[in-house]
């Protein structure tokens, strides 16, 4: 058994990994991310396998990861997560029955989906939990891309389930907490008690994170530079975009439009949490922790604090596990990597 574990996420803006030393007190020994050019990937979806594989090789060489076996964290608007109740049965029998039971709930045929069921509670002969469905081709593309980078995908885990395990490490035993991860283009809301997720929502939402702003600045600069001048400066080369498109995208991140997008995101998060708390018998949420670089976007943290009468705090990797002496994480990575770390937490860590 390897002495360290590596968690990996592929997002629209970057490839990101963390390496954790096993043990009673897990230790973060390596972490890093490499930015991706436009149109190389979407969140948990590869568009250009060669470009993403190159970025993964750069990630390993730049940040000195030792292990090459990875747990891949996935979470995007294309992944279905919903509550589901079925008859209690042995796990292998449920695995066989699930495709027939949930076919009408899926956006694609069951034979084109990867299905999972996370049991949460049992009442008599009925078990309730969370149904997860992802497009099989998307998962296969992700694994093929890691293979091309000479990495081996040992497991694929849903990011919100990892966030539930993060919540267990920061909460008082028995308390129910909401863990919100605000990414560049996808946000996750997870409500959990002792690491067990009661409720999961994946929210598509573009946020003016530092990574998004950097890409827009680069794209804006590139439209002013001839192709032959910038092609050698970017590895891999980033294609030019029409100035009108680039300026329109950049304009959406400034001024009133940015304030409106923050207000909309915070409103959706608040409504999502309220939907859970207003249910009959729902446990009281004692605290809210927010990870992801979106927490660093202008006005986000302040708006979240005003939106709730529950304490809200930012959450970084150092709040979850110890970090190797001498390993300094930039603030953006320290917030982003919480979700990457979460997929590693569990048995053996």
Cβ pair 319, 334 in contact under 8 A: no
Residues 299, 314: Cα–Cα separation, whole Å: 13
- What local confidence, expressed as pLDDT, does residue 1 receive? 61
| Beta-carbon count within 10 A of 225 CB | 12
Residues 40, 133: Cα–Cα separation, whole Å: 23
User: 3-state SS string over 253-287?
Assistant: CCHHHHHHHHHHHHHHHHHHHHHHHCCCCCCCEEE
Cβ pair 72, 154 in contact under 8 A: no
Structure tokens at 176: 């129910």
What residue segments make up the domains of the chain, in order of their start?
Answer: 4-210+254-342
- What local confidence, expressed as pLDDT, does residue 222 receive? 52
- What local confidence, expressed as pLDDT, does residue 216 receive? 79
Task: List CB contacts of 61: < 8 A, sequence separation 6 or more.
Answer: none
Residues 294, 262: Cα–Cα separation, whole Å: 10
pTM: 0.88
Task: List CB contacts of 164: < 8 A, sequence separation 6 or more.
Answer: 179, 190, 192, 195, 196, 197, 342
> Domain 4-210+254-342 carries which CATH code?
3.30.420.380
Residues 320, 323: Cα–Cα separation, whole Å: 9
Mapped onto helix, strand or coil, the DSSP state of residue 308 is coil
Handedness of CA 19, 172, 181, 253 (dihedral sign): negative
Output b/e per residue, 232-259; b: 16+ Cβ within 10 A.
Answer: eeeeeebebbeeeebeebeeebeeeebe
* Backbone region of residue 272 per phi and psi (left: phi > 0; alpha: psi in -120 to 50; beta: other values): alpha
Which residues of the chain have a pLDDT value below 70? 1, 219-258, 347-349
Long-range contacts, 278-284 (Cβ 8 Å, 24+): 282/198, 283/176, 283/193, 283/198, 284/176
Mapped onto helix, strand or coil, the DSSP state of residue 67 is coil
- What local confidence, expressed as pLDDT, does residue 107 receive? 87
Residues 243, 101: Cα–Cα separation, whole Å: 50
- What local confidence, expressed as pLDDT, does residue 257 receive? 61
The residue behind tokens 């680039």 is: 246
């Amino acid at each position: 058994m390897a002495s360290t574990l590596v968690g990996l996420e592929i997002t629209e803006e970057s490839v990101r990994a963390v390496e954790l030393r096993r043990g009673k007190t897990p230790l973060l020994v390596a972490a890093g991310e490499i930015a991706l050019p436009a149109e190389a990937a979407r969140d948990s979806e590869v568009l250009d396998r060669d470009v993403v594989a190159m970025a993964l090789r750069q990630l390993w060489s730049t940040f000195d990861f030792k292990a090459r076996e990875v747990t891949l964290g996935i979470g995007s608007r294309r992944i279905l997560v919903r509550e589901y109740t079925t008859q209690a049965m042995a796990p292998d029998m449920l695995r066989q029955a699930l495709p027939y039971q949930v076919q009408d709930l899926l956006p694609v045929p069951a034979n084109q989906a990867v299905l999972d069921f996370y049991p949460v509670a049992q009442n008599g002969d009925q078990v309730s939990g969370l149904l997860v469905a992802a497009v099989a081709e998307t998962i296969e593309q992700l694994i093929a891309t890691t293979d091309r980078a000479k990495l081996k995908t040992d497991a694929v885990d849903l990011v919100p389930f990892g966030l539930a395990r993060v919540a267990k490490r920061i909460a008082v035993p028995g308390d129910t907490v909401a863990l919100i991860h605000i990414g560049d283009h996808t946000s996750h809301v997870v409500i959990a008690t002792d690491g067990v997720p009661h409720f999961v929502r994946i929210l598509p939402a573009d946020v003016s994170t530092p990574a998004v702003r950097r890409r827009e600045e680069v794209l804006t600069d590139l439209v002013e530079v001839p192709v032959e001048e910038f092609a050698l400066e970017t590895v891999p080369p980033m294609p030019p975009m029409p100035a009108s498109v680039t300026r329109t995208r950049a304009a959406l991140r400034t001024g009133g439009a940015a304030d409106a997008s923050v207000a909309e995101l915070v409103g959706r998060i608040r409504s999502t949490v309220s939907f859970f708390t207003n249910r009959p018998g729902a446990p009281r949420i004692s605290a809210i922790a927010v990870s992801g670089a979106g927490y660093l976007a202008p006005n986000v943290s302040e708006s979240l604090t005003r939106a709730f009468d529950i304490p809200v705090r930012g959450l970084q990797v150092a709040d979850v596990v110890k970090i190797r002496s001498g390993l300094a994480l930039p603030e953006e990575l320290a917030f982003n990597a919480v979700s990457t770390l979460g997929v590693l937490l569990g048995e053996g860590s």
